[in-house]
């Protein structure tokens, strides 16, 4: 009996010990979750109330601080009222009416004579064709006058002669190439939705249906699609690319009451000054895998898992983005200021070297030498510090630990930028190319369909490449829409908006390039 009593006590003790160990593990997990949730809460507060700038400014020990306490402004709660209404849909559908061009607009007359014109030809009348055209800041109507002639041929038979009408972007359309270019730039460069653009025309006394404008847009995009494929093919010849992605809401007939979340995948060739947008319905790796099929070269990205599939390709060298790694440590300042500040100061030294090289106008080879001499020792210090932190502590879900883990996982790719003077320390340049999409989302809110999103990606590609080459987008689009119908497929590359193709269209005022 005494033996059984001792045995049962031992069993009970072991059960209590096991249960206590489980409680400790549960408590540890809960503590880690609390730290993680506090980190997320701090990030959300910073996004709403804090500054967006990430530049790190070290604290001065001699600088006095002013404690103002908790002055977080809480948004006031407002009463909500639900309003419903019924909209009657008209069943009558009238026949499409051809656009009548207003008579008050000035006319620019261009007479086109048949070439050659027989000597005995007699003018018997004229054929008029009018299109609505645009010059910056002024709408006008361009009238093509084509005199009709009758003459006797060699067999003394009566013949008629009239000059051919110039090739127009939209056959039998009322929009000229410059007006169409203005429409595309207004939507995707100036972020003006179609309905606002229509309102602008109405203020000029020109009444055009929004459906007509959308038809002009679709027709223009159909013309430009072969050129977009040419741009993609030329970009994929580059040996160094940057890649990133950004969401775009898309209306989908299969999703009632909600928008589909599509993505613009953006690829930029820094040395060739090219950028190409590729719309995909999802953020899965199928997007970049399909676009970069057969690509050989260096690819710089953030740490998104979709790019990991390229690590197995021998033909692709992966680089990471130092700006993304720095961002995690910036977010960890409130969690562990000492460790986060240490890393931010080291990264700041690396960026100071990049700024020094840019201001000095160093060549790629000179920048490579500078990095090997000054950046490599700093990178060695960062690497030793990361390994030390990982060995001395168990990395948890705190913001500083998340920052360390992110940098450790991508470290071989983060430090690789010093191996070639062409490489950039981060892929901020491709993020700069994405900014017009973010501005556009705030104005037109969503794409009307997946096809519309693909068309938007195409126009963003052209306008982004114009910006990189400092090409005037209005002049380039006008010329391209005017000539692309007559351009052979093997000559399309001559229409790409790059400096060697259009040196006369380079803008005198250069836009600042942020790095």
Reported as a single tens digit per residue, the pLDDT across 454-507 is 999 999 999 999 999 999 999 999 999 999 999 999 999 999 999 999 999 998
Q: What is the pLDDT of residues 281-324, one digit of tens each?
A: 999 999 999 999 989 999 999 989 999 999 989 999 999 999 99
User: Over 70: is that where the pLDDT of 46 sits?
Assistant: no
pTM: 0.78
Give the start-to-end residue ranges of the domains of the chain: 107-161, 177-318+428-505, 322-419
Per DSSP, the residues of 48-110 read: HHS-------PPPTT---------PPPPPP----------PPP---PPP-PPPPPTTS-EEEE
Q: What is the pLDDT of residues 219-238, one digit of tens each?
A: 999 999 999 999 999 999 99
CA distance 362 to 349: 18
Say what the pLDDT of residue 162 is.
94
Q: What is the pLDDT of residues 119-158, one digit of tens each?
A: 899 999 999 889 888 877 788 899 999 999 999 988 889 9
3-state secondary structure of 160: strand
Percent of the chain with pLDDT over 70: 85
CA distance 436 to 191: 8
Say what the pLDDT of residue 364 is.
95
CA distance 401 to 137: 56
User: Over 50: is that where the pLDDT of 71 sits?
Assistant: no
Question: Cβ neighbours of residue 411 under 8 Å, at least 6 residues apart?
Answer: 383, 386
Please give the helix or strand (H or E) that residue 436 lies within, else none: helix 428-444
Mean pLDDT within 186-211? 91
Say what the pLDDT of residue 50 is.
58
Other Cβ atoms less than 10 A from the Cβ of 35: the count is 17
Question: Cβ neighbours of residue 59 under 8 Å, at least 6 residues apart?
Answer: 341
Say what the pLDDT of residue 237 is.
96
CA distance 373 to 371: 5
Q: Where is mean pLDDT largest: 30-44, 129-143, 184-198, 429-443?
A: 184-198
Split at pLDDT 50, 70, 90, the class of 69 is very low
Say what the pLDDT of residue 139 is.
86
């Amino acid at each position: 009996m005494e033996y059984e009593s001792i045995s049962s006590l031992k069993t009970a003790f072991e059960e209590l010990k096991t249960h206590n160990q489980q409680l400790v593990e549960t408590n540890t997990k809960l503590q880690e979750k609390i730290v993680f949730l506090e980190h997320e809460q701090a990030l959300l507060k910073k996004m709403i109330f804090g500054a967006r700038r990430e530049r790190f400014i070290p604290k001065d020990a001699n600088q006095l601080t002013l404690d103002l306490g908790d002055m977080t402004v809480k948004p006031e709660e407002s009463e909500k009222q639900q309003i419903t209404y019924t909209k009657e849909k008209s069943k009558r559908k009238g026949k499409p009416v051809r656009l009548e061009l207003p008579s008050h607009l000035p006319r620019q007359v261009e007479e086109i004579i048949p070439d050659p014109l027989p000597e005995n030809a007699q003018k018997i009348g004229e054929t008029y064709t009018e299109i609505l055209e645009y010059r910056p800041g002024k709408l006008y109507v361009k009238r093509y006058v084509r005199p009709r002639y009758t003459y006797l041929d060699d067999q003394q038979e009566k013949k008629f002669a009239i000059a051919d009408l110039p090739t127009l972007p939209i056959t039998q359309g009322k929009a000229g190439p410059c007006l169409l270019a203005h429409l595309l730039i207004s939507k995707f460069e100036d972020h003006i939705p179609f309905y606002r653009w229509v309102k602008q025309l109405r203020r000029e006394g020109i009444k055009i249906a929004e459906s007509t404008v959308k038809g002009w847009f679709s027709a223009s995009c159909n013309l430009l699609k072969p050129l977009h494929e040419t741009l993609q093919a030329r970009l994929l010849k580059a040996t160094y690319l940057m890649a990133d992605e950004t969401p775009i809401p898309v209306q989908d007939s299969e999703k009632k009451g909600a928008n589909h979340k599509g993505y613009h995948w953006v690829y930029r060739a820094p040395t060739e000054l090219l950028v190409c947008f590729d719309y995909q319905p999802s953020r899965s790796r199928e997007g970049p895998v399909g676009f970069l099929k057969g690509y050989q070269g260096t690819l710089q990205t953030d740490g998104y898992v979709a790019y990991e599939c390229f690590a197995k390709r021998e033909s692709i060298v992966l680089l990471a983005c130092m700006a993304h790694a720095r961002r995690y440590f910036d977010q960890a300042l409130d969690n562990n200021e000492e460790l986060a500040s240490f890393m931010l100061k080291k990264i700041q030294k690396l960026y100071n070297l990049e700024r020094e090289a840019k201001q000095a106008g160093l060549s790629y080879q000179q920048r490579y030498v500078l990095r090997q001499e000054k950046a490599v020792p700093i990178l060695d210090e960062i690497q030793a510090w990361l390994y030390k932190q990982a060995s001395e502590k168990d990395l948890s879900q705190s913001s500083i630990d998340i920052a360390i883990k992110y940098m450790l996982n991508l470290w071989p790719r983060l430090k690789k930028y010093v191996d070639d003077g062409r490489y950039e320390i981060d892929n901020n340049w491709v993020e700069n190319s994405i900014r017009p999409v973010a501005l556009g989302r705030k104005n037109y809110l969503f794409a009307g369909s997946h096809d519309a999103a693909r068309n938007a990606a195409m126009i963003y590609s052209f306008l982004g490449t114009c910006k990189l080459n400092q090409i005037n987008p209005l002049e380039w689009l006008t010329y391209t829409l005017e000539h692309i119908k007559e351009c052979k497929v093997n000559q399309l590359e001559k229409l790409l908006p790059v400096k060697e193709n259009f040196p006369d269209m380079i803008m005198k005022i250069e836009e600042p390039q942020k790095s």
